[in-house]
Amino acid sequence: MIRELSTLGDVLTAAGDDLTIVWAAQDMRPGTRAFALGEAVAVAAPALARRDRLVVAGPLDDVAPLVRHALAEVGPAYRPMGDEGLVRALAERVERVRFEAAFLWMQTAAPAPGEVGKTVWLEDADTARVSELLAVAAPGSYAVPGVPGVRRWAGMRADSGELVSVAADAWSCSSVGFIAGVATAGARRRRGHSEAVCRFVLNDLMAAHGRVALMADSWNGSAVGVYERLGMSLRNVAAAHAD
């Protein structure tokens, strides 16, 4: 029988060690819904990292009917997300679900040793400069100033005062800090700036939340290398959409 989970405690129990589910629950903020069937769990999270997401985990035989039910409840705008193999299988099993893209989920439960350089949390007065840097260095970034859930920005400046690298605390919840919006000015790359800024954000979020995660493009080897040097492990995940 499919059950709707009404409390964060119920979701955390169903999630077990799956940090994607814990993150998707967002402390069960208004609009979030969660469902369970057998060993499967699905969390419908509205406007999470710029998408309505249906994050799923568990065996396919339980997840498939759970996804059908959840999509009927919350609507087809919600995009299934989970382990890559599971999402590919869902696209074969569940009518109207279509595989969309594979990427990486990266996480850690330990602080990252090393230097953070001149990284600081930025002030509201820096918002325009953050937007300008992202527009050039990372125009596809989901995290930009002003988007709901993007809480604050860390940055590093050159001696001239130029903002050269940034990263955001975005879509974090009580037990998972989340990093997004990592960008470094083109002329300043390959100098360790992004690594230093991400180390600063990771360690600050670690102290507050106990675990830290982010999503990365699997083709971006340089970025993945930075996150691995910070001690983050990777997991192949994917997203689908419903017709």
- Is the CB of residue 236 less than 8 Å from the CB of residue 218? yes
Dist. CA 114–CA 109, nearest whole Å? 16
pLDDT digit string, tens, across residues 26-69:
999 999 999 999 999 999 999 999 999 999 999 999 999 999 99
Q: Residue range 222-242: average pLDDT?
A: 96
Predicted local distance difference test score (pLDDT) of residue 64: 98
Query: In what helix (H) or strand (E) does residue 240 lie, and over which residues does it extend?
Result: strand 233-242
Domains of the chain, start order: 3-104 (no CATH), 120-210 (3.40.630.30)
Structure tokens at 165: 């690298």
Q: What's the half-sphere exposure (Cβ side, CA atoms, 13 Å) at 37?
A: 16
pLDDT digit string, tens, across residues 67-109:
999 999 999 999 999 999 999 999 999 999 999 999 999 999 9
Dist. CA 204–CA 217, nearest whole Å? 24
Query: Helices 60-74 and 84-93, interaxial angle, to 10°?
Result: 70
pLDDT digit string, tens, across residues 156-181:
998 888 899 999 999 999 999 999 99
Q: Is 161 exposed, middle or buried (0-12, 13-18, 19+ CB in 10 A)?
A: exposed
